[in-house]
Amino acid sequence: MSYSSRPLLASAAVVILAGQAMAADLPSKFNTPAMPYNATQYEWSGFYAGAAADFVASFKGTGDLENGSAKVVNPKGRSYEGSLYGGYNKQFGSVVLGAEADLSIGSLNDKRTYTDVVGTATVKFDQQIAGSVRARMGYAFNNILVFATSGVAVSQAKLGASINITGFSDSATATRTYAGYTIGGGVEYGFSRNLIARTEYRFTQYEKTSFNGLKFGTDVQEVRAGMAYKF
């Protein structure tokens, strides 16, 4: 090899080595980029427990008191309650199945009085506790779950009635346990692996139970907003 060709070979070696170094710094088209955290699949399976604030948009009595002239003393209205809930979900792909129970505590009450030339009639309703056991089915869009729910509901309420007309008066009060069904649906949002927010609508109808010769039950419509911790 001649002496004059050595600088040319050295220059070529430097260019080749520099190109290899630059190529090593560039991402390879064959390397799969790491998946960002927020694109990972959210996991809905597991036990959870939470609390909710309940707005009872409407409740009304059903049965004998809603018929004829007695409807003027039929309890109805709206109220607020608080509830505790818990359950278990199992995820199958995008489908989520589960079971849940809840307990509502509050004062769902109304008093109706009707007076005419004959006398006065009064009916008072006071529901203080209610609960349900339900099945749930939902469809997950990653950390968003749209669900439907249905099951049995039970409540304990006090009903009182009195009548006072010319030459006659009578009154009766009794605490009854009412059973029925509840259906609804809503949306849940997973803020993190453990915190899940919820908005839910529920309709509940309690059976008509005998009271002093009358049949009485209630229909309840409510909206719930809650936060749960998933274990």
Domain assignment present for 33: no
* Residue range(s) defining the domain that contains residue 92: 50-230
pLDDT at 15 (0 to 100): 38
Q: Does the CA dihedral 12-18-24-29 come out positive or negative?
A: negative
Tokens read off for 107: 């004062």
Domain assignment present for 42: no
Phi, psi dihedrals of residue 181, rounded to the nearest 5°: -130, 160
pLDDT at 31 (0 to 100): 54
Q: What is the CATH number of the domain that holds 130?
A: 2.40.160
pLDDT at 58 (0 to 100): 94
Domain assignment present for 113: yes
pLDDT at 65 (0 to 100): 81
Domain assignment present for 143: yes
pTM of the model: 0.78
Cα 177 to Cα 56, 87, 158, 180, 188: the distances in Å are 20, 24, 9, 10, 31
Domain assignment present for 19: no
Domain assignment present for 169: yes
pLDDT at 50 (0 to 100): 98
Domain assignment present for 11: no
pLDDT at 134 (0 to 100): 98
pLDDT tens for the chain, 231 residues: list them: 544 444 434 444 433 444 454 444 545 444 545 444 344 789 999 999 999 999 999 999 988 888 777 788 889 999 999 999 999 999 999 999 999 999 999 889 999 998 887 789 899 999 989 999 999 999 999 999 999 999 999 999 998 888 888 778 888 888 989 999 999 999 999 999 999 999 999 999 999 888 777 788 999 999 999 999 999
d(CA 203, CA 225): 15
Domain count along the chain: 1
Domain assignment present for 37: no
